[in-house]
């Protein structure tokens, strides 16, 4: 029958069966999604002045509710939505981490007493930078409260991303997570042109990488006839010797995912975006996107492509080594602290990749621990950066941090703690994390990768420690920035991340236990 | 496994050759056109022909989406972007990074060769299954898609609305200018117009009895003269206004008074 | 082949009609050109001068374009739903309503924030 008539002549009733969905298992997603929709309605119907408090209640309330459900779900291990969503130990662990970090990020974004002009976002992102409109909006204290629905949508996307058991679901989640972040990156209150440039670069390159991901998924579908991770894995073990479609598929899929984790050949966007985006957004994004992207990467590699580990491991070895080295070396040359941290985040992605390529349950566990530890430290780091300011806004040039330790000893000490943790000094969470991934790599026989990792760590330690030396061992100059006392929002976020950085460094066992109980991905 | 190459009937072959040639022609036209808008229109040609090919290959849903989304929405956005950026904006062709263009061409070619080789050998190695089994499972291609959307991909389908919301909200945030000044209402505008002292109402129409272009023909006043106000200012400025001679006026009188004939 | 014949005939008819109309108009129509007639429109409005900046349109058109695309994509989902409506029954109706209502939320946002007003 001709294709045109096929759909017309189909009167044969095929029984449609309703999908079986365990709504409670995906309740955290539904809560955040519902809250995001409600917060769009708030933007529509609540008058200008009332929006911020209402949005804050919705954001904090929904994240806390989702977190409570996530905790209640612990031990759950099921695949729902006809095989599209997997709720297992690693999923729940990453949900928990994403929600907590999301909450801290929301607190940073809610801060309004650091900048005398208002919060970190432009009063109206559509007003031309420097225009009369912009000044008038600032004078009237307008706030762009649309950032709250964007935050909730991004978190929703991340939650789905780490739980998706299907490449198509993963792709949609990737977009749901990325689109709001592109927008948020372009909404800074100060240095707006830089911020808009960052958003544009992030958007263009991000769209490009999403296209690669989709192309890769299409190749894998062409090979296996399915986009389900499990079905692809089954086909891989059944069919052998038809490698080219699979190889291309994996390579393209990896481009899309490695772009999001900022691994080296695909890292070019990171410094510009980290520098240009409003600092609370940078902190939120640096921490959560890393978790979400690595979560998806781990699931794809472990659930779907585990049978082909001999094919993808060499590729990831090289990428991990390059990522660690390039990130660490280039970070040394940076003079802007946000750019330096961007390169540092690239190097950190390399360290996590060392755990990923171990391709063992131990590797998964160590990568998860590293991600959680890194996320807390990172969001704390950017919280400090929001507070170090001069007359023109945040003082991100390193020279303005000289002697900060003498002017504001407490904040400098907290920042030093984060730097030490990122460098992987013992008694901080970063040390436990690094130790874990390196141990997993040695167990899998990747000793040379560990050697590269240690070399990169030493290089990286140089620029982390340099900031500490700059803060404590040089005298304040007239240019030295001053630390603004924040409101409770930033204080809570900063305290929480500092406490976690120490707690995971001194008593890491409880999180290690949780990760052990979480086990491996469900198949 | 049936050999699909000999399975193709004449009708399909005709459709393929017509549409394939047009699609490639459109793609070439897109690359070779000097004007951006022309390029965009060439793409539309390619898209439509691809849609026909999809439909001919038992994928009517894909074909329809190709028309609705690509030829409709995406092309419109393309044209639109071109217009926002400026149709004749001549981009600087100077390379900011040295050797970038050469590197891009080489890498692009490399990726292209790799993909063509890989996909080609992959297709040779794997048997062609065709769409019949998939399409018949639910009584048709579109029904099959519907069954997938409403079962396995139900959550994703609902989640897509998040994308749509973000897109529209983002467009609002980035481009919609909130007002902080009071906007003049129609009443205000009307009052202002009368206060200003210039002619408040409509200007007289052009010469409606004219047998020429009405725009450039002035209306005739009762005294037989012409009203300059009845010809649009730009036409007057360009000197395109017609001057009326006695012949025209007689002609009009003939029509209005019915004399003669 | 048979099933394609009506389509082919329709295509030929459409092409023939278009060709005939153009040809007939050129042959039979009077040709009295003047400068005003060469302008894009003859309805009395001078073609708008080029927007500021040389051929650029104000960015507020962008919102219209995006809104169009949002609802265009929505239609893509309506299409299979409508075709398989009898199979999906009430469940499909409810889910589709959920989807449409969710998308309408942003419509409400655009409307309330004066995104649909032209000034």
Query: Residue C31, exposed/middle/buried by CB under 10 A (0-12, 13-18, 19+)?
Result: exposed
In terms of CA atoms, which chain A residue is nearest residue B175? A126
Fold classification of C54-119 (topology level): Methane Monooxygenase Hydroxylase; Chain G, domain 1 (1.20.58)
Per-residue pLDDT tens digits of chain B, which is 261 residues long? 344 445 567 888 888 999 999 999 999 998 888 777 788 889 999 999 999 999 988 889 999 999 988 888 888 777 777 776 665 555 556 667 788 888 989 999 999 998 898 888 877 777 777 777 778 888 888 888 998 899 999 999 999 999 999 999 999 998 888 877 777 888 888 888 888 888 777 888 877 666 666 777 788 787 777 788 888 777 777 777 777 776 777 777 777 777 554
The pLDDT tens digits for A306-345 are 888 888 889 999 999 999 999 999 999 999 999 999 999 9
**Which of C59, C81, C92, C106 is best to mutate for the A interface (most A CBs within 10 A)?**
C106
> What pLDDT, on a 0 to 100 scale, did the predictor assign at position B21?
95
Tell me how far apart the alpha carbons of residues B119 and B137 are, in angstroms, rounded to a whole number: 27
What six digits make up the tokens of C110?
Answer: 């655009």
For residue A511, pLDDT beyond 50: yes
**Looking at domain B8-87, which of 1.10.10.10, 3.50.50.60, 1.20.120.1200, 1.10.1200.10 is its CATH number?**
1.20.120.1200
Quote the crossing angle between the two packed helices A279-299 and A243-261, to the nearest 10°: 160
CB contact under 8 A, B115 and A14: no
pLDDT range class, residue A73, cuts 50, 70, 90: very high
DSSP letter (8 states) at residue A264: G
Would you give the distance in Å from CA B210 to the centre of its chain?
A: 37
> Backbone phi, then psi, for B98, in 5-degree steps?
-65, 135
> What pLDDT, on a 0 to 100 scale, did the predictor assign at position C66?
85
CB contact under 8 A, B143 and C74: no
Closest residue by Cα to residue B232 from B242, B223, B222, B220? B242
Q: In what order do the strands lie in the sheet with A482-483?
A: A393-394, A388-390, A482-483
Interacting residues of A246 by C-beta distance below 8 A, sequence separation 6+: A219, A220, A223, A236, A308, A311
A4, A125, A176 ranked by CB distance to B60: nearest: A4
> What pLDDT, on a 0 to 100 scale, did the predictor assign at position C117?
81
Instruction: Point out which residues pair with A115 in neighbouring strands.
Output: A118
DSSP letter (8 states) at residue A50: G
CB distance B21 to B40 below 8 Å: no
Domain with A239, as residue range(s), is 21-518
Provide mean pLDDT across the span A449-456. Answer: 94
Provide mean pLDDT across the span C58-71. Answer: 82
HSE of C42 in the Cβ direction (CA atoms, 13 Å)?
Answer: 11
* Maximum CA extent, chain B: 91
pLDDT range class, residue A294, cuts 50, 70, 90: very high
What six digits make up the tokens of B260?
Answer: 């003669």
- Mean pLDDT, rounded, of chain A: 91
CB contact under 8 A, C87 and A40: no
Distance from CA of C79 to the nearest CA of A (A): 12
A7, A133, A172 ranked by CB distance to B142: nearest: A7
Neighbours of B225 (CB within 10 A): 12
The pLDDT tens digits for A15-58 are 678 888 899 999 999 999 999 999 999 999 999 889 999 999 99
What is the SS3 assignment for A114-175?
CECCECCECCCCCCCCCCHHHHHHHHCCCCCCCHHHHHHHHHHHHHHHHHECEHHHHHHHHH
Domain extents in chain C: 54-119
Domain extents in chain B: 8-87, 134-175, 204-257
The pLDDT tens digits for A415-428 are 999 999 999 999 99
More confident residue, B239 or A479: A479
Does residue A383 belong to any structural domain of this protein? yes
**Which of C47, C75, C98, C106 is best to mutate for the B interface (most B CBs within 10 A)?**
C106
Q: What is the DSSP string of chain B?
A: ---HHHH--HHHHHHHHHHHHHHHHHHHHHHH-SSHHHHHHHHHHHHHHHHHHHHHTT-HHHHHHIIIIIIIIIHHHHHHHHHHH-TT-------SSTTHHHHHHHHHHHHHHHHHHHHHHHHHHSPP--SHHHHHTTTSHHHHHHHHHTTTTHHHHHHHHHHHHHHHHHHHHHH-----SPPPPHHHHHHHHHHT-S--SPPPP--TT-SS-GGGSPEEPTTS-EEGGGS-HHHHHTT-PPPP-HHHHHHHHHHHH----
Is the C-alpha dihedral spanning C90, C94, C100, C104 positive or negative? positive
């Amino acid at each position: 029958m001709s294709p045109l008539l096929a759909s017309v002549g189909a009167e044969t009733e095929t029984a449609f069966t309703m999908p079986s969905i365990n709504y409670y298992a995906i309740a955290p997603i539904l809560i955040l999604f519902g809250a995001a929709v409600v917060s769009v309605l708030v933007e529509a119907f609540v008058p200008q002045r009332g929006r911020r408090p209402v949005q804050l209640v919705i954001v904090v309330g929904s994240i806390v509710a989702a977190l409570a459900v996530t905790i209640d779900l612990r031990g759950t291990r099921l695949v729902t939505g006809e095989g599209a969503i997997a709720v297992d130990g690693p999923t729940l662990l990453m949900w928990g981490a994403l929600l907590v970090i999301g909450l801290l990020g929301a607190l940073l974004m809610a801060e309004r007493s650091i900048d005398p002009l208002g919060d970190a976002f432009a009063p109206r992102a559509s007003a031309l930078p420097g225009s009369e409109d912009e000044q008038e909006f600032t004078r009237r204290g307008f706030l762009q409260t649309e950032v709250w629905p964007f935050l909730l949508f991004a978190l929703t996307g991340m939650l789905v991303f780490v739980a998706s058991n299907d490449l198509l679901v993963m792709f949609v989640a990737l977009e749901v997570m990325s689109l709001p972040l592109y927008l948020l990156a372009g909404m800074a209150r100060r240095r707006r042109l830089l911020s808009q440039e960052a958003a544009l670069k992030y958007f263009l390159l991000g769209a490009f990488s999403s296209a690669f991901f989709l192309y890769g998924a299409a190749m894998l579908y062409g090979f296996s006839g399915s986009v389900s991770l499990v079905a692809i894995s089954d086909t891989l073990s059944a069919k052998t010797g038809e490698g080219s479609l699979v190889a291309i598929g994996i390579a393209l899929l990896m481009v899309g995912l490695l772009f999001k984790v900022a691994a080296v050949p695909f890292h070019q966007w990171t410094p510009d975006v980290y520098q240009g985006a409003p600092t609370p957004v940078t902190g939120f994004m640096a921490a959560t996107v890393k978790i979400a992207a690595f979560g998806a990467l781990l699931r794809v590699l472990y659930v779907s492509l585990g049978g082909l580990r001999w094919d993808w491991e060499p590729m990831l070895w090289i990428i991990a080594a390059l990522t660690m080295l390039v990130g660490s070396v280039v970070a040394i040359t940076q003079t802007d602290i946000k750019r330096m941290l961007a390169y540092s985040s690239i190097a950190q992605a390399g360290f996590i990749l060392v755990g990923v390529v171990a391709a063992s349950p131990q590797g998964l566990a160590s990568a998860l621990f590293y991600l959680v530890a890194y996320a807390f430290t990172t969001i704390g780091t950017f919280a400090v950066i929001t507070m170090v300011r001069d007359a023109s806004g945040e003082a991100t040039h390193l020279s303005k941090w000289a002697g900060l330790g003498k002017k504001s000893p407490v904040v400098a000490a907290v920042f030093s703690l984060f730097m030490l943790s990122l460098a992987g000094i013992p008694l901080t969470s970063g040390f436990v994390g690094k130790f874990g991934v390196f141990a997993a790599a040695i167990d899998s026989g990747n000793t040379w990768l560990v050697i590269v990792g240690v070399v990169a760590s030493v290089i990286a330690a140089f620029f982390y420690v340099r900031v500490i030396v700059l803060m404590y061992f040089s005298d304040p100059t007239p240019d030295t920035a001053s630390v603004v006392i924040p409101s409770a929002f930033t204080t809570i976020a900063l305290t929480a991340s500092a406490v976690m950085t120490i707690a995971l460094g001194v008593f890491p066992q409880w999180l290690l236990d949780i990760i052990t109980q979480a086990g491996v991905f469900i198949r | 496994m049936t050999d699909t190459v000999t399975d193709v009937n004449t009708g399909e072959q005709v459709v393929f050759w017509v549409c394939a040639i047009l699609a490639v022609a459109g793609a070439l036209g897109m690359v070779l056109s000097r004007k951006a808008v022309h390029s965009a229109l060439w793409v539309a040609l390619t898209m439509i022909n691809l849609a026909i090919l999809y439909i001919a290959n038992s994928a009517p849903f894909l074909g329809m989406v190709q028309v609705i989304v690509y030829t409709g929405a995406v092309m419109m956005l393309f044209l639109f972007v071109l217009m926002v950026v400026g149709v004749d904006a001549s981009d600087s062709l100077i390379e900011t990074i040295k050797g970038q263009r050469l590197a891009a061409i080489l890498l692009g070619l490399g990726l292209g060769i790799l993909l063509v080789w890989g996909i080609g050998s992959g297709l040779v190695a794997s048997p062609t299954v065709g769409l019949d089994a998939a399409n018949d499972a639910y009584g048709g291609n579109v029904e099959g898609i519907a069954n997938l959307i409403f079962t396995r991909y139900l959550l994703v389908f609902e989640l897509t609305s998040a994308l749509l919301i973000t897109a529209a909200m983002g467009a609002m945030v980035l481009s919609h200018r909130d007002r902080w000044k009071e906007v003049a209402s129609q009443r205000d505008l009307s009052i202002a117009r009368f206060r200003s002292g210039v002619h408040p109402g409509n200007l007289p129409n052009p010469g409606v009895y004219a047998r020429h272009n009405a725009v450039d023909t002035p209306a005739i006043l009762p005294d037989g003269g012409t009203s300059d106000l009845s010809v649009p200012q730009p036409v007057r400025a360009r000197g395109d206004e017609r001057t009326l001679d006695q012949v025209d006026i007689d002609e009009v009188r003939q029509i209005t008074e019915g004399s003669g004939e | 082949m048979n099933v394609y014949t009506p389509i082919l005939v329709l295509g030929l008819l459409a092409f023939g009609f278009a060709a005939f109309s153009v040809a007939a108009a050129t042959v039979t129509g009077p040709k009295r050109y003047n400068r005003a007639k060469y302008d894009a429109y003859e309805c009395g409005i001078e073609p708008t001068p080029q927007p500021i900046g040389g051929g650029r349109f104000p960015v507020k058109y962008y919102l219209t374009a995006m809104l169009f695309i949002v609802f265009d994509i929505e239609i893509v989902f309506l299409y299979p739903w409508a075709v398989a409506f009898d199979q999906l029954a009430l469940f499909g109706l409810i889910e589709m309503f959920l989807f449409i209502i969710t998308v309408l939320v942003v419509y409400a946002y655009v409307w309330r924030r004066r995104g649909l007003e032209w000034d």
